[in-house]
Amino acid sequence: MVPAHLPLDWGSVEQIVGRIPRKDLPADPAVIIGADQQREQMLPTYVGRGVAIPHARLDAIDRPMLAFAHSEEGVPLENTSERADLLFLLLTPGPSRTQPRWLAEIVGLFESDYVTGRLRKARSPDDVIEAIRAGQQVAPD
């Protein structure tokens, strides 16, 4: 997969964060959204084949958080007709080497259509976890 650095519609991250119960978020929703928007301006998060990984580092958290969203209609990308329909929101403590490792792991899952196909069909958190675990078994090292 070749990264196509295209910006996501910022409302998509707001929607993901808005659907997570506040008690399950590692920081205030406004802080998370603001950190992602800042990072998105520096380097957009679309990685290709319908997959986007908005991510940010937050000094106030002590462990990573990963959220998954599937958009049937897809999230529009600026200056293109492409849409991202699989989104992973990654929040990591900053500064650390954790974020590049997680990003590489997530991107590596999408080298095969097998995982993306399963994620597009997932209807529960367990389906998502099973798809990721299966992808870890078939993804090349």
Q: 55, 61, 106, 109: which is the annotated catalytic residue? A: 55
Is 55 an active-site residue? yes
Burial 120-132 (b: 16+ CB within 10 A, else e): eebeeeeebeebb
Contacts of 72 (CB under 8 A, 6+ apart): 85
Residue 1 and residue 47 in contact, taking contact as beta carbons nearer than 8 Å: yes
Beta strands in the chain (DSSP E): 46-48, 51-52, 55-58, 65-76, 83-93
Would you name the residues annotated as active-site residues?
55
